[in-house]
């Protein structure tokens, strides 16, 4: 049985569905299949999805997580000067 899943990149992927008892009997084979096909396996218990086995995706670099880390910014000379008027909220 197969079901459709939406991946992080919003691409429709066909996921294989297996019962928990079937996965227990052949876990190494199921893991090898997920690694080779890069497709997830939905694990069901009594016909209801309870877990998902997905391939491991390594984060390439921290710069992709923090895209502005190496970007230089300019701060105005008067950045920390007092404001010309007080805010009403501070009164």
Run of H or E residues at 62: helix 62-65
Within 13 Å of residue 13, how many CA atoms lie on the same side as its CB? 19
- pLDDT of residue 40 exceeding 90, the answer is yes
Q: What is the pLDDT of residue 7?
A: 47
8: tokens are 């992080």
Domains located in the chain, CATH noted: 1-56 (3.40.1620.10)
pLDDT above 70 coverage of the chain, percent: 69
pTM of the predicted structure, to 2 decimals: 0.53
pLDDT confidence bin for 10, thresholds 50/70/90: very low
Q: Which residues contact 72 (CB under 8 A, 6 or more apart)?
A: none
DSSP tally for the chain: helices H, then strands E: 3, 4
């Amino acid at each position: 049985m197969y079901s459709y899943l939406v991946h992080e990149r919003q691409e429709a992927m066909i996921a294989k569905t297996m019962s928990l008892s079937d996965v227990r009997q052949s876990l190494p084979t199921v893991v090898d299949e997920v690694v080779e096909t890069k497709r997830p396996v939905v694990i069901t218990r009594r016909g209801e999805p309870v877990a998902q086995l997905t391939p491991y995706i390594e984060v390439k670099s921290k710069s992709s997580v923090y895209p502005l880390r190496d970007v230089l910014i300019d701060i105005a000379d008067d950045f920390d000067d007092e404001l010309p008027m007080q805010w009403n909220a501070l009164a």
